[in-house]
C-alpha cells in the first residue's frame, strides 16, 4: 500500500513562512493528483491546494497568492510553500494522494497523518 508522511509543520508568527513536505512510499505504481487539506479547530477538513501529475494547480480562495503547491514526480513528493501566514491558517495539514499501488488495481485516496501548523504571536 501507499504511505504518506508529512513534515515541516510548526509554530510561526503572523506574516511568517513555512514549507510543508510530503513523501509517498510503499507500493506505488502511479500517482495522479496530490494535494493538501487542512482542518482547523472546530472546523471540517477543507481543501487547500491540489496539483495534477502534469502540474496543473488549484487553490482555495483563502490561500491564493500566499501558498504555492509543487511536486516532484521522481520523488513521489508534494510540497506546500506558505507565506504571509495568518492566525486563521492554524490547522492540522494533511497530505493527500490519488494513487494506484499496483498496475492491476484502481486508484485510491491515501492520507498522511497530518502535521500541525500554528500561527500565533
> At residue 104, does pLDDT exceed 90?
no
- The predicted pLDDT at position 105 comes to 84
3-state DSSP assignment of residue 51: strand
Taking the C-alpha atoms of residue 112 and residue 92, their distance in angstroms, rounded to an integer, is 11
Contact 52, 33 (CB under 8 A): yes
Higher pLDDT, 102 or 61: 61
Helices (H) and strands (E) in the chain, counts: 0, 11
Burial state string for 81-104 with b = 16 or more CB within 10 A and e = fewer than 16: ebeebeeebbbbbbbbbbbbbeee
Residue 103 pLDDT level (bands cut at 50, 70, 90)? confident
pLDDT in tens, 33-79: 999 999 999 999 999 999 999 999 999 999 999 999 999 999 999 99
- The predicted pLDDT at position 12 comes to 98
> At residue 1, does pLDDT exceed 90?
no
The chain-wide mean pLDDT, for the chain, equals 96
Taking the C-alpha atoms of residue 92 and residue 40, their distance in angstroms, rounded to an integer, is 6
Taking the C-alpha atoms of residue 62 and residue 83, their distance in angstroms, rounded to an integer, is 13
Amino acid at each position: 500500500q501507499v504511505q504518506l508522511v508529512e513534515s515541516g509543520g510548526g509554530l510561526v508568527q503572523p506574516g511568517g513562512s513555512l514549507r510543508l513536505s510530503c513523501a509517498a512510499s510503499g507500493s506505488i505504481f502511479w500517482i495522479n493528483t496530490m494535494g493538501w487539506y487542512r482542518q482547523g479547530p472546530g472546523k471540517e477538513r477543507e481543501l487547500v491546494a491540489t496539483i495534477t501529475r502534469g502540474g496543473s494547480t488549484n487553490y482555495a480562495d483563502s490561500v491564493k497568492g500566499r501558498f504555492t503547491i509543487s511536486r516532484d514526480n521522481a520523488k513521489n513528493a508534494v510540497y506546500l510553500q506558505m507565506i504571509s501566514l495568518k492566525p486563521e491558517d492554524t490547522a492540522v495539514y494533511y497530505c493527500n494522494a490519488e494513487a494506484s499501488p499496483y498496475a492491476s488495481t484502481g486508484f485510491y485516496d491515501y492520507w498522511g497523518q497530518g502535521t500541525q501548523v500554528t500561527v500565533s504571536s
